[in-house]
Structure 1
Amino acid sequence: MATMTQSIRRSAIGLGLFAIITGGTIAFTHALTEERIAEQAARAEARALFEIIPESAHNNDMLRDTLILPASDRLSTKGPVTVWVARQNGQPVGMIMPVIAPDGYSGRIRLLVGIDLAGTLLGVRVISHNETPGLGDKIETRKSDWIKNFEGRSLGNPKPRQWSVKTNGGAFDQFTGATITPRAVVKAVERSLV
């Protein structure tokens, strides 16, 4: 009986040491890479901003010309958000704001939505998502041009009832086998225009 207790004790100690070493390694790796990951995310966000409103369309430092908006149910944001303002010779020509599509197939889809002063969409880009590879991830520009279909649209183009995917009688295509993702993005973009 004593040898069985000793064996269990040895196994428990070994397992505990393994857990401590593994947890420490993960925490150390996280600490080493956290800043680099944040820098890469900021670069990706800046690239998306300049895809929506190219530098040729404004002459201000859009990355520094920002406004802070409070949390908004319409944008599905939980806290204050940064809005980037594009200006030409000091006059606003457009803005880009973060929007969340909370009802993607695999969770929240973070978007950047650019709108000009007339309420016309300048562009939409996906910043992050967890959609199914090969299906829902076609919302990314590197996978398809689907997201570019929003450019030039407004609340009146298409008509309000058509701000949906085609299977629901709307104007926007969906993906074969992945209707939930495009439906969520279309709803979120429409909400940002209201």
Structure 2
Amino acid sequence: MDIAKQFDTLWYQGTSLAVVALVTGSALAVAYGSAAPRIAEAQARKTQAALAEVLPKDSFDNELMSDTIVVKDADGREVRVYRARKAGTVTGVVFGMENKGYSGTIKLVMGVDLDGRLTGVRVTGHTETPGLGDKIELGKNPWVLSFTGKSLGDPAPAMWAVKKDGGVFDQFAGATITPRAVVSAVKRGLELYAGKRDLMVADTAPRS
């Protein structure tokens, strides 16, 4: 058999591709393994910054990432809660919520003080339409700041909706579904806090 022709067979091509893929995959695995600690550290810093952004300045002096507790929402899903402490005393909590938007899942983080008032809300992930739904990002529009200071009783529960639905929150021209989803997620977050407050703010030892 002509060795040169053997190189042209599908069997050889497939085997060659498999070998190349194996070698490449191994190399990438080694590279990722050595970079993993740095990636994890960078992600931790990013998460810590996002958590701190929805809390009042100087309202905590602990490591938020290592002071957590897990609770379950109304659907039985686990929600990790980060507790803010000042001189050892819990001053508020931060946790994430999500909801289905116009073109995908919208993820957000929200801070709540001991009285159940929002200290801040930030959208951390979405795939909404650029120029329309992406106005939920603080960098694109200050709309998300309208949640600060709000609670389940202010406005009244029935008013936790966009204005088009009879609520108090603005919607975006051509993109009502997106802000509606965010408002709903934040309200559900406040309801979760109201139902799990004692557990969330319990002055127990920090655990990760």
Shorter-normalised TM-score: what interval? 0.7 to 0.9
AA partner of residue 86 (structure 1): R
Change (3 A) 1:71 1:16: same
Deviation string, structure 1 residues 135-181 (Cα, Å, up to 9, x no partner): 43332222221211100111122222221223323222233343333
Task: State how far apart, in whole Å, the 2-side matches of 1:32 and 1:109 are.
Answer: 32
Q: How does 1:34-183 map to 2 (within 5 A)?
A: 34-58=36-60, 60-63=61-64, 66-73=67-74, 78-79=77-78, 81-87=80-86, 90-96=88-94, 98-183=95-180
Identity %: 41
Q: TM-score, normalised by structure 2?
A: 0.72
Task: State how far apart, in whole Å, the 1-side matches of 2:31 and 2:173 are.
Answer: 39
Task: State how far apart, in whole Å, the 1-side matches of 2:141 and 2:52 are.
Answer: 18
Change (3 A) 1:64 1:6: closer
How many residues are aligned here? 188
Change (3 A) 1:135 1:78: same
Q: Which has the higher contact order (CA 8 A, sep 6+)?
A: 2
Shift of residue 132 of structure 1?
A: 4.1
AA partner of residue 66 (structure 1): D
Q: Which runs of 5+ in 1 are unaligned?
A: none
Change (3 A) 1:32 1:99: same
Deviation string, structure 1 residues 73-118 (Cα, Å, up to 9, x no partner): 36xx83351321333x55443222x222131334333322111222
Q: TM-score, normalised by structure 1?
A: 0.76
Change (3 A) 1:62 1:13: closer
Shift of residue 4 of structure 1?
A: 9.2
Worse overlay, 11-20 or 149-158: 11-20
Change (3 A) 1:129 1:43: farther
Change (3 A) 1:102 1:35: farther
Backbone CA RMSD of aligned residues: 3.1
AA partner of residue 44 (structure 2): A
Partner of 1:188: 185
Q: Tell me, yes or no, if the aligned pair for 1:101 and 1:187 is still in contact at 8 Å.
A: no
